[in-house]
Amino acid sequence: MTAMKLIVLRKASRADRSKPRRRRIAVAAVAAVLLAAPNAVLAMDFPEALKRVDHALRTNPSHVSQFALDSCFNRRNFAVKLYESRQVERAERSLEFCFDALEIPAVAPKAKAEAGLDIGKAKAKAVQEAEQALALTPNIKDGLAIYRECASCHKPEGWGLENGSVPQLAGQHSNVIIKQLMDIRAGSRGNPMMEPYSCAEAIGGAQSVADVAGYIDTLEISTANGKGPGINLELGERLYQENCARCHGARGEGDPLKYAPRIQSQHYKYLVNQFRWIRDGKRHNADPEMVAQIKDMKTTDGKAMLDYVSRLEPPEELQAPEGWKNPDFAESKSN
């Protein structure tokens, strides 16, 4: 073997021996980051951190790229789903990605003394806009333009998702939609997933809220919604008539004058989630009478009642025909 070949082989051997060492160094570096991260995560106040991320997504203070904004937006929504399913630590770790992507500090700057006044003003403005929106005549065409953004989650037909993460909105009373949107905007109803979509920057003022609520009210209702297991329906009916019918109606039709939502053909899992949050005091805009009625109700009884509710259907004239697709969106695709 020539001297040149020996030199090459020795170099290759040394390089091969150095690979495991480089891998160990890289793995150690990654492990150090992963081990250090939980200390910051555990100190995170998720709702407050989410508000800061949402504000940065709207204002882009560090002027990051659109790719960074899109990546953060997707991770933010994933973090919210984790948080709502009570996987708090995973949610916090997921949200940390956004602080890096948006190039905002992990620690919030100290709040100014006027911050409380600003929050109070925001709530007062939302209440005022709600009153204005309720008195306005909706422009359905403008409402469609706004709803196109909502359709990414609520679907073009407004039928939501059977897994309970997105409710069926189709055919909901416009008064109810207005109140719920403004309650989220005012902070009276905590809904992290909806907060960036309900704000004035996303929808607009009172007229825009009235418009999109009016459009949603025109959508035909799907009766192929997610339903419960069909157990104890007789018990469920009795509990519903005793506890809910006075406000929500004998057939779940709701009452717009009382802001009682239509719950006909609503997804069973969504109803269960809302029932639990209202009963446990986590939905702060819930009717106090309803909270009092269900606070001591057993989970099994509540599920039987909501199973029955999920099977209530609206009048035939409000039901979507089999195979119905929203023609407003079909037209947009063809243009």
> CA–CA distance from 60 to each of 108, 118, 162 (Å)?
16, 21, 34
CB of 58 closer than 8 Å to CB of 196: yes
CB of 146 closer than 8 Å to CB of 215: yes
What is the dihedral angle through the alpha carbons of 220, 226, 229, 232, rounded to the nearest 10 degrees? -40
pLDDT in the model for residue 94: 83
pLDDT in the model for residue 37: 39
pLDDT in the model for residue 43: 53
pLDDT in the model for residue 182: 92
Running DSSP on this structure, what letter comes out for residue 165? Answer: S
In which residue are the tokens 């306005």 written?
Answer: 136
Task: Supply 188's token pair.
Answer: 């009276």
Q: Look at residue 314 and give its three-state secondary structure.
A: coil
pLDDT in the model for residue 13: 44
Question: Domains plus CATH for the chain?
Answer: 27-102 (no CATH), 123-219 (1.10.760.10), 223-321 (1.10.760.10)
pLDDT in the model for residue 48: 83
Residues of the chain scoring pLDDT < 50: 1-19, 22-23, 25-42, 111-117, 334
Rounded to whole angstroms, the Cα distance separating 328 from 298 reads: 43
In which residue are the tokens 């639990």 written?
Answer: 276
